[in-house]
Structure 1
Amino acid sequence: MKEPKGVGRMWSLYKMGGFTPAIASMLGSQNAQQMAFIRSVNKEQRKQSPLDMLLREMEFIVFDLETTGFYPSNGDEIISFGAVLMRGSEIYSSETFYSLVNPKRRIPRAIVELTGITNEMVEDAPDLMQVLHDFMEFVGKRPLVAHASGHDKQFLNAALWRTSKVNLNHRVLDTMMVAKWLEPKRDSYALDDLLEDSGITITQRHHALEDSLMTAELWQVYLRRIFERNINTLGDLYAYLSQR
């Protein structure tokens, strides 16, 4: 997707001296403030090293995205964000985030059928910059958890770069990778199969918030198994996962 007119000049100005009045006038003051916030969160994240933190005490954001397709480089866009807060193995279902996004393109029929998100539903939804700002505000400095996270990270990185010229610095734990470590001989690591085998009720699949809540329950199950192996810190967990 082409950058909006003036973006190249804007970034030249940014590198020369930050958010000048010229940049604010190009973007609009609200967008400039949102971009500044996203960049600030990302910068602070680089300073944080949570590897020594105890998993039992850590806060995580379990999240999911729905998109118009699989390839942001081909013009596919995010159409919804969903997320829920966890502290240790406790799910805070009252502390959630959900928003539709106006992708500024047509949603393919197959995606409408899969997600239930129609073109009419996103017509008046906020744009990507607004929702990305609100999502990053909800996430803060917390590590992220997702299932088959490659897809979500790809779109999140593309969104962050396009709107704010930053890459995702947050650590992302993948419940699929954890499942492969805990159960290396499984035939399937699809979310539906893992949920069913873990005794987790499947509610509404391909809804960003519902998928986040179900993935949080799966992460809850896996954390208990991780603790049984005397793995206590995020660094310990990464060390075990890296052996795969």
Structure 2
Amino acid sequence: MKDMRPAGRMWHLYKMGGITPAITSMFDVQSAQQMAFIRSIMKEQRKNALYEISLETVELVVFDLETTGFSPYNGDEIISFGAVAVDGDIIRKDQTFYSLVNPKRPIPDQVVKLTGITDDMAGKADDLMAGLRGFLEFARQKVLVAHGTGHDKHFLNSALWRTSKVNLSHRMLDTMMIAKWLHPRLKQYDLDTLLNWYGIEIAGRHHALEDAVMTAKLWQHLMREFRERGIHTLGDLYAQLSHHQ
């Protein structure tokens, strides 16, 4: 007779079908469906070979996260996702994504002042898994672009592992790293400095979607400089960046 208590049921499902059904058995139906979707996106992403894709036609998602702090491994949480689709250097203003996330913990006062996101606003939002699924459903297998990707990648990896036991497998481009390669003599490479450098209007800073749109406009300027330097494919760009890390 099979042991159908939670631990026994999980072991039985693991033997029958692997880790995914075993893990999802521990969650409710909706969470299990969301987890399965997230895992499938990561699996498909690992199959993609993108290096020969032209920068003129590459499909990108430029994104930004707002968080309660700087360390997802010490209790800080994502409180909003913002993203906009970009094809080559064309910003698809009709294709955007924005979602608040309930961090299930108080938002520090300084973060409330910076982002305008209050405990009341976040408390009415979906949980992390739902927000993450929405973001990944928008991004699909596209290349992700952000400014200072280290912060965002840490939070995404933490969120993916906690909700679905997978790691981020998307290709990512960092506009900060690209700017350091293109303009090595600049003293600072924060988003405000670069927006000013390229004459891009600054509005709505520290709102995830607004920051994503401004970063997309920064990407447009960087694309013009790629052309001038004979950088035509993702492979060309990654090769250049690999020498300037």
Q: Confirm or deny a common fold (TM above 0.5).
A: yes
Contact 2:45 2:169 in 1 (8 A): yes
What is the DSSP-based 3-state SS (H/G/I as helix, E as strand, rest coil) of the residue aligned with 1:168? Answer: coil
Contact 1:10 1:26 in 2 (8 A): no
**Sequence identity (%):** 59
Q: What residue identity is the alignment partner of 2:191?
A: L
What is the DSSP-based 3-state SS (H/G/I as helix, E as strand, rest coil) of the residue aligned with 1:161? Answer: helix
CA deviation string 1:25-69 (max 9, x = no partner)? 531111101100000010001110101100101100000000000
Distance 1:12 1:235, change over 3 A: farther
Distance 1:182 1:158, change over 3 A: same
What is the DSSP-based 3-state SS (H/G/I as helix, E as strand, rest coil) of the residue aligned with 2:152? Answer: helix
Match of 1:62 in 2: 62
Q: What residue identity is the alignment partner of 2:183?
A: E
Q: How many angstroms apart in 2 are the aligned matches of 1:186 and 1:9?
A: 60
The answer to whether residue 95 in structure 2 is matched with residue 100 in structure 1 is: no
CA deviation string 1:94-153 (max 9, x = no partner)? 100000000000001011011110001111100000010111010000010000110000
Structure 1 gaps, min length 5: 1-5
Greater shift in the superposed pair: 23-32 or 134-143: 23-32
Match of 2:168 in 1: 168
Distance 1:39 1:66, change over 3 A: same
Distance 1:225 1:101, change over 3 A: same
Q: What residue identity is the alignment partner of 2:217?
A: E
Q: How many angstroms apart in 1 are the aligned matches of 2:9 and 2:33?
A: 14
What is the DSSP-based 3-state SS (H/G/I as helix, E as strand, rest coil) of the residue aligned with 1:27? Answer: coil
Q: How many angstroms apart in 2 are the aligned matches of 1:14 and 1:117?
A: 41
Greater shift in the superposed pair: 11-20 or 231-240: 11-20
TM-score, structure 1 length as denominator? 0.93
Contact 2:81 2:208 in 1 (8 A): yes
Q: How many angstroms apart in 1 are the aligned matches of 2:61 and 2:115?
A: 22
Contact 2:63 2:83 in 1 (8 A): yes
Match of 1:150 in 2: 150
Q: How far does residue 9 in structure 1 lie from its aligned partner after superposition?
A: 8.0
Match of 1:134 in 2: 134
Match of 2:36 in 1: 36
The answer to whether residue 182 in structure 2 is matched with residue 182 in structure 1 is: yes
Runs of 4+ residues deviating >2 angstroms: 8-16, 22-26
Structure showing greater radius of gyration is 2
Q: How far does residue 214 in structure 1 lie from its aligned partner after superposition?
A: 0.1
Contact 1:13 1:23 in 2 (8 A): no
User: How many residues were matched structurally?
Assistant: 237
